[in-house]
Amino acid sequence: MTAFDRRAGRLPPAWPATGLTVTSTCASGPELPTSSVTFTVNATTVLGENIYLTGSVEQLGNWSPENAIGPLSNPNYPLWQVTVNVPASITISYKFIRKNKGAIVWESDPNRSFTSPAEGRSVTLRDTWR
pLDDT in the model for residue 26: 65
Nearest to 98 by CA among 63, 126, 58, 71: 71
pLDDT in the model for residue 130: 95
pLDDT tens-digit profile, the chain (130 residues): 677 776 777 766 666 666 666 666 666 677 889 999 999 999 999 999 999 999 999 999 999 999 999 999 999 999 999 999 999 999 999 999 999 999 999 999 999 999 999 999 999 999 999 9
Examine residue 2 and state whether it is found in any structural domain, yes or no: no
pLDDT in the model for residue 14: 63
Instruction: Quote the number of domains for the chain.
Output: 1
DSSP 15-72: -S--S----SSPPP-PPPPEEEEEEEEE----TT-EEEEEESSGGGTTT-GGG-B-PP
Task: Read off the pTM.
Answer: 0.77
pLDDT in the model for residue 32: 84
pLDDT in the model for residue 62: 97
Q: Classify residue 60 by burial, with Cβ atoms within 10 Å: 0-12, 13-18, 19+.
A: buried
Q: Which amino acid is at 108?
A: S
Helix (H, G, I), strand (E, B) or coil at 94: strand
Examine residue 22 and state whether it is found in any structural domain, yes or no: no
Examine residue 111 and state whether it is found in any structural domain, yes or no: yes
Examine residue 69 and state whether it is found in any structural domain, yes or no: yes
pLDDT in the model for residue 40: 98
Size (the chain), residues: 130
**Dist. CA 36–CA 112, nearest whole Å:** 17
Examine residue 48 and state whether it is found in any structural domain, yes or no: yes
**Dist. CA 109–CA 118, nearest whole Å:** 27
The domain of 85 spans 32-128
CATH number, residue 76: 2.60.40.10
